[in-house]
Amino acid sequence: MIDTLRLSHVVVRVRDLDKAYKFYVELLGLVETEKDGDCLYLRGVEEGQHHSLVLKKADSPGLSYIGLRVKKPEELDKAREFLSSNIKLKIHKEKGVDEGILFETPQGIPLFLYYDMEYVGDLRMKFFMHRGVSPVRLAHVNLIVRDLESEVKFFKEVLGYYETEWFLDDKGEKQVVWLTRRGDSHEIAISSSTINSPGFHHETYYVHELRDVVRAADILASAGLWNSIERGPGRHGVTEGFYIYLRDIDKNRIEFFSEDYVVLDPDKWKPIVWTHDQLRYRSDFWGRPIPESWLNEWVPVEDVFTGQLKRWNA
Ligand SMILES: [Fe+2]
């Protein structure tokens, strides 16, 4: 097993960096570390690392890759050795990170493992610099794959994650699995789909309280961006968290989320099981319907070796 520390960052494709800056930085309050060439490097107020969200200019939306940090430098060596004997990988550098390895999970999700990212300092108690909804830290990502079982096995057996909750389909098979490494309700959620290519549903930033979740809707509505408010505010049954889902101008989805639980004793934890007839309040504890767009729309992911998006067929 590779000793990973946590989910670290996501690299998301946007078509217009200026418009993305207005949405993510000026309105929602992600902290700008820097703009460099075709990339905008952002983070939450609690994050001292160089970035947790990279917006990369591209001709269409999608996920470029997801970054995980390993606990020690030797874990990266171990990962390179272990993974290279099983799957194709490449050495990759990014702004603030000298070296890491980029590869695809068994189901084709692009992942980047690294140890050391430049540390620029957090804005945790610099309250005068907080803006928008004061995004605190990257909390989780939500992925779509064809074969859920093989993907979950990889995150558990190779990357050290464990399951916190399951949602079962009408045949009693796992349809969605929530996994964590650092002990929050989840850092990775994975859903199964009949689509033959992997997809990226959303990334989520933790905010400190429900008021910040509501503020996201107030900010976008008062800026005339009603179409960007896709779902919520509401409360999930699964994970307990308050949520709101937003779409940027390219239809990439971002969630703000608050007040989920922490797993105090991983060795005692038994995954919470939601059966299919509990769908309504599993997804929204107050039983409100889920928008069709939320259920059926997500963005494609890049092939790490070509940089091209993988296209799917049902
Ligand atoms: Fe989420």
CA angle centred on 199, ends 177 and 140, rounded to 5° = 50
Contact indicator for 299, 63 with CB cutoff of 8 Å: yes
Q: What's the 203 CA to ligand 1 centre distance in angstroms?
A: 7
Distance from Cα 255 to the centre of ligand 1, integer Å: 6
Evaluate whether 4-114 and 134-300 have a shared fold: yes
Tokens for 124?
Answer: 């945790």
Residue 157 Cα, ligand 1 centroid: separation in angstroms? 23
Instruction: Tell me the pLDDT tens digit for each residue of 23-57.
Output: 999 999 999 999 999 999 999 999 999 999 999 99
| Nearest CA-CA partner of 72 in 156, 160, 152, 178 | 160
The rounded radius of gyration (Å) of the Cα atoms in the chain is: 18
How many A from CA of 142 to the centre of ligand 1?
6
Quick: pLDDT tens for 244-301: 999 999 999 999 999 999 999 999 999 999 999 998 888 999 999 999 999 999 999 9
Å from CA of 100 to ligand 1 middle: 26
Tell me how many degrees the CA angle 185-109-57 measures, rounded to the nearest 5. 100
Q: State the architecture of 134-300 in CATH terms.
A: Roll (3.10)
Please, which contacts does 279-283 make with residues 24 or more away whose CB atoms are closer than 8 Å?
A: 279/167, 281/237, 282/167, 282/236, 282/237, 282/238, 283/236, 283/237, 283/238
What is the average pLDDT value for the chain, to the nearest integer? 96
pTM of the entire predicted model: 0.97
* Cα 184 to averaged position of ligand 1 atoms, centre (Å): 12
**Continuous segment of H or E residues that includes residue 18:** helix 17-21
Buried (b) or exposed (e) across 55-69, using 16+ Cβ within 10 A? bbebeebbbbbbbbb
How many A from CA of 141 to the centre of ligand 1?
7
Ligand 1 centroid from CA 201, angstroms: 8
For residue 17, is pLDDT > 80? yes
Candidates 3.10.180.10, 3.20.20.220, 3.30.470.20, 1.25.40.10; correct CATH number of 4-114? 3.10.180.10
Domain ranges of the chain: 4-114, 134-300
Length of the chain in terms of residues written:
314
- The pLDDT score that the predictor gives to residue 279 is 83
Q: Mean pLDDT over residues 130-137, rounded?
A: 98
Q: Say whether pLDDT at 194 is over 90.
A: no
State yes or no: pLDDT of 314 exceeds 60. Answer: no
Q: What's the gap in Å between 85 CA and the centre of ligand 1?
A: 33
Residue that has been written with the tokens 């960096």 in this structure? 17
